[in-house]
Amino acid sequence: MSEHIIDKPVTLIGRSSKNDIALTSDRLVSRRHATLRFEGNGYVLIDEASANGTYIGESRLAPHKPYPLHDGAELRIGSNTFYFEMRQAEPAKMEEMPTMLVVGETQNAPVHANADSSSPRSLWQSSVFYPKLLGTGSWNALLIYAHLAGAISAVRQDAMRALQEIDYSSNQSSDAGGQTLLPDINITLIPEGEGMFFNPRRITLKGIKDWQRAIFRFVIRPELGAKVHACIISVYMGPLLLNRIEIPLEFARQEPEEWPRASENCTQVTIGSFQKIYLAYNYSDRTIAMACQRAARLLAAAMPYLGEVEALRLRQVRGHELEQKMAEADVFQLFWSARTARTPYMQYEWEHALALARPLVHPVYWEVPLPNPPATLDQASFFYVPLYTFS
């Protein structure tokens, strides 16, 4: 069984390889068979006058007429059966459309997370390959890797191959990578930048490998003009904010007659991960609590700080011991929910973290709309991450 994630307003389905969902081996499928489209607050399916029809359940769709899709709907196209699944509450904004979820094969014998690492700080890294110079209004490619420090050579080799294939308009996929280390934790990558549109909005890779790649296409609104724009990339390992990478994207003042090849117009940046991540979550938010506790267990050898903080929070400890842990933290990750807002112990935590007066607090939320934060958090930037990416 394969999984296709709908990550843009219009998704084309058919036998031609140019479709978003390409069913190239099924002769019962027309070259341009059907279209999935986001309308209003949901999705519709449209048959494009296909030879053998498009079905929802047992009902054949009339050509060129939109039919609304509901969660759990069974779709038949040629000899293929699909089940339509909404992974989150229907978003109020297009930028909050579902994550692209890439399911990779897992190895039978996963390697321990601390294998081949002399120190925890050298374990996890993120690398970004991005254009030195870009054009406004045109699509560009961004390659993001999550990897072990020892896999950096394999990452560079793969990036050069991928960039060369982009030069020749080859369709490049995400989730290229090596050996699976932790099959039960996701990696989620989220790029953001003022005036920039990324396709897909975010990517979740199932399972952690010694290295793995995600490719984003992005464009900036032409009216913003030519200048340097900051792009920030957040990398999550399960629920943990592994790191945040800021890269400067320089947009050309004047379009050159001929752009250099992607493989020649490229800059690389590599940074290490946060090591001391303070996870502040409400135990009543069961999905979040289970994800955080599982991550602490799986990463106990590489990141013992997670378990040390968890032991204090379970006992609702206040005072010097807990505050010392906050002072040591690289990042204070606050899982914001309606329950969090009503919890005095968590208020004590976030107020002390804010009092440390450094770029420390990173609130994330998954409930839409955002539960109203108090005035004390007015200066904090809240980041939306879908709930299912935390697993």
| Distance separating alpha carbons of residues 234 and 242, to the nearest angstrom | 8
pLDDT reported for residue 164 = 81
Whether 277-390 and 101-272 are alike in CATH topology: the answer is: no
Mean pLDDT of all residues in 205-223: 87
Look up tokens 């800021």; give the residue. Answer: 246
CB–CB of 268/126 below 8 Å?
Answer: no
Residue 304: CB partners within 8 Å, gap ≥ 6? none
Torsion of CA 368, 374, 377, 379, to 10 degrees: 90
pLDDT in tens, 5-34: 776 778 999 999 989 899 998 989 999 999
Q: Name the residue among 36, 70, 73, 33 with its Cα closest to residue 54.
A: 33
Report the relative pairing of strands 59-60 and 54-56 from DSSP bridges: antiparallel
Provide the β-strand partners of residue 147: 125, 211
pLDDT band for position 288 (50/70/90)?
Answer: very high
Query: Which whole-number Å values give the CA distances from 30 to 21, 37, 78, 112, 243, in the listed order?
Result: 12, 18, 8, 47, 45
Cα separation of 136 and 60, whole Å?
44
Identify the DSSP state of 284: T
99-132 per-position pLDDT tens digit: 455 544 333 222 333 333 333 345 899 999 998 8
Confidence of residue 4 (pLDDT cuts 50, 70, 90): confident
Average pLDDT, the chain: 84
Exposed/middle/buried for residue 332 (C-beta within 10 Å: 0-12, 13-18, 19+): buried
Residue 43: pLDDT above 50? yes
CA dist., res. 368 & res. 390, Å (int): 16
DSSP string, 95-113: GGPPPEEE-----SSPPPT
CA distance 224 to 234: 23
Q: At 139, is the pLDDT very low, low, confident or very high (cuts 50, 70, 90)?
A: confident
Tell which phi-psi region holds residue 207, choosing left (phi > 0), alpha (psi between -120 and 50) or beta: left
288 contact partners, CB below 8 Å, separation of at least 6: 239, 281, 282, 335, 337, 366, 387, 390
- Cα distance from N-terminal residue to C-terminal residue, the chain: 20
> In sequence order, what DSSP letters do the residues of 240-305 get, joined into one string?
EEEEEEEEEEEBPSS--SSPPPTTTSEEEEEEEPPS-EEEE--TTSHHHHHHHHHHHHHTTTT-HH
pLDDT at residue 49 is higher than 70: yes
> Could you tell me the two tokens for 320?
């010097």
What distance in Å separates the CA atoms of residue 36 and residue 13, rounded to the nearest whole number?
Answer: 8
Task: Say whether 121 sits in a helix, a strand or coil.
Answer: helix
Q: Supply φ then ψ for residue 210, to 5 degrees.
A: -65, -25
The number of beta carbons lying within 10 Å of the beta carbon of residue 140 is 21
183 or 77: whose pLDDT is higher? 77
Structural domain boundaries in the chain: 10-86, 101-272, 277-390
pLDDT of residue 348: 97
CATH tag for 101-272 (out of 3.40.1280.10, 1.20.1050.10, 3.40.50.20, 2.60.40.10): 2.60.40.10
User: What is the rounded average pLDDT of the residues 250-254?
Assistant: 74
Sequence-distant (6+) residues with CB within 8 A of 1 are none
Which pTM does this prediction carry? 0.70
CB 55 within 8 A of CB 61: yes
User: Using CA atoms, how far apart are residues 220 and 226, in angstroms rounded to an integer?
Assistant: 10
What would the CATH number be for the domain defined by 277-390?
3.40.50
**282 and 289 Cβ atoms separated by less than 8 Å:** yes
pLDDT, tens digit, 9 for 90 and up, residues 336-379: 999 999 999 999 999 999 999 888 999 999 998 899 999 999 88
Burial 342-359 (b: 16+ CB within 10 A, else e): ebeebeebbeebbeeeee
Helices within the chain (DSSP H only): 152-167, 286-298, 304-314, 320-328, 338-341, 344-355
The whole-number pLDDT of residue 358 equals: 84
Q: Which tops the pLDDT comparison, 147 or 43? A: 147
Which CATH architecture is the domain 10-86 placed in?
Sandwich (2.60)
